[in-house]
Amino acid sequence: MASEAKTASEDVKMDLFEDDDEFEDFEINQEWEDKEEGNEVTQQWEDDWDDDDVNDDFSLQLRREIENSTEKN
Amino acid sequence: MSHLRMGEAHRRITEYLNRFYDGVSSQDGASLRELLSLSSNSNYLLSVADALDTFQDANRLIDNFSDFLGPLFRSLHSLRLNNLLDSYTNFEKAANAFIQEFRNWEWTWALDPLFVIVYQLRVLAERADRELASNGKSPEKLKAAGSFLMKVFGVLAGKGPKRVGALYVTCQLFKIYFKLGTVHLCRSVIRSIETAKIFDFEEFPEGDKVTYMYYTGRLEVFNENFPAADHKLSNALMHCNPCSEANIRMILKYLIPVKLSIGILPNDWLLKKYNLVEYRNVVQALRKGDLRLLRHALQEHEHQLLRSGVYLVLEKLELQVYQRLFKKIYIIQKQRDPTKAHQMKLEVIVKALTWLEMDMDVDEVECIVSILIYKNLVKGYFAHKSKVVVLSKQDPFPKLNGKPVNS
């Protein structure tokens, strides 16, 4: 097992039996409508975010920094 | 504790016993649930516990299932007196007697009460351990509950209709192992669940499947097996009860780092709605190529990210942030002079990094770029003499497209 697992388990021991992310028990035999398309939360992802836009503040400042440097050379 | 007349105490205990016997003889598993949920603190059970305090010789009233009901009464009574270690010890005895009976019952009606017993055993063990720890003793009951549940798992996991209950017990075991930090113990139960040819996973109850996918997904995160983690946690997310916001949040807490590591971003709505603010700046850093922001975001939430075990996953996003930064430099150069855009001077990168408070010389930058080329995040080669990276004319910054960075 990777070192992460070790780190995680050491953390747990350090805090004497705590797992912050213990899944809440569903009630026994509890049922809910399982939509074919899933929860709306399954549709909140972007895989095509890597655009060519360089007009945000960060990019504008980046431009100033590197263009200064090319002028010097 | 209220003082009862002996007669009233006697009446309450007899009534409890009658309800229990009726439930068993009519095979009405659901009706036994309330009777066995000791930790629920229901008014009904509190009133029975008070009766047990008054009427000390309750065993005399039990005429059947005494191996089960005797210790169960002692457990309930101890719990009322806040003697948590005794309560657990007696409950485990009762659970053991129940399992002996359960083995002989043919049909699955008793799964309901069995689940309640399994759940109670875990919760009472946690309380007993807290009591032990606060008295300076070694907490060991949750571990004991784990061993006991393995026995229950063994009873269910064989052939036959009772197998449908095996996943519930598995999930309770996961909770114990994660709490104790002994997650390696999950492996043998997982193997048993996943290799069984006699039972289709889909036939398990929905809630158990979601819980199972959540925990096995977390294990895949620890193992850095991101495609498998994505599959399992996405499955948990898709099928989770939409009303259970706390559980959805927990799934996302692990799924988001996994998605980021394969180049997929959550939108801001999701982070806001589930209050996952610790990821907001990480996502921004990826979008912008802002290495400084990534560093600050990790520092700011270091403690909680380490606790949940996703810190190292997020730290590795640095390579993707470098890629994004280099791509921006490339686009800016291209706008200025399209003919020279493919030649990126290492000196220019040094300048950008200096601005981002990363003190690196040309050799160190060359090293970083080599790593990116090796990991297929940049396509190109070095012109060493002129200290330039020559980028491929085709797709110089390949996207991950849902696959992890090459290792």
Q: Residue range B141-148: average pLDDT?
A: 98
Q: How confident is the model at residue A69 (pLDDT cuts 50, 70, 90)?
A: low
B181–A12: do the CB atoms touch at under 8 Å? yes
CATH 1.10.10.10 in chain B: give the residue spans.
Answer: 319-391
Give residue B389's pLDDT: 96
Q: Collect all residues of chain B within an 8 Å Cβ-Cβ radius of residue A41.
A: 237, 248, 252, 270, 274
Tokens representing residue B83 in the block: 């003697």
Give residue A41's pLDDT: 80
Q: Residue range B10-16: average pLDDT?
A: 97
Parse chain A into domains and list their residue ranges: 43-72
Question: What pLDDT digit, counting tens, does each position of B107-126 carry?
Answer: 788 999 999 999 999 999 99
**Poorest-pLDDT segment among A31-35, B65-69, B147-151, B202-206:** A31-35
Q: Collect all residues of chain B within an 8 Å Cβ-Cβ radius of residue A73.
A: 345, 347
Q: Collect all residues of chain A within an 8 Å Cβ-Cβ radius of residue B270.
A: 41, 44
CA neighbor of A21 nearest in space, from B307, B298, B78: B307
Using CB atoms, which residue from B119, B237, B253 is nearest to A41? B237
Nearest chain A CA: its distance from B185 CA (Å): 12
Distance in angstroms (rounded) separating the CA atoms of residues B72 and B45: 12
CA neighbor of B381 nearest in space, from B346, B335, B334: B346
Give residue B405's pLDDT: 92
Give residue A35's pLDDT: 65
CA neighbor of B186 nearest in space, from B169, B165, B161, B203: B169
* Nearest residue of B to residue A38, measured between CA atoms: B238
B181–A52: do the CB atoms touch at under 8 Å? no
Distance in angstroms (rounded) separating the CA atoms of residues B274 and B261: 20
B288–A58: do the CB atoms touch at under 8 Å? yes
Q: Residue range B134-152: average pLDDT?
A: 96
B180–A25: do the CB atoms touch at under 8 Å? no
Phi, psi for B45 (deg, rounded to 5): -65, -35
Distance in angstroms (rounded) separating the CA atoms of residues A37 and A44: 13
Give residue A70's pLDDT: 52
Q: What is the pTM of this model?
A: 0.91
B269–A10: do the CB atoms touch at under 8 Å? no
Distance in angstroms (rounded) separating the CA atoms of residues A60 and B285: 15
Q: What does pLDDT average to over chain B?
A: 94
Counts for chain B of helices (H) and strands (E), in that order: 20, 4
- The domain B319-391 is classified under which CATH number: 3.40.800.20, 1.10.10.10, 3.40.50.720, 3.40.50.300? 1.10.10.10
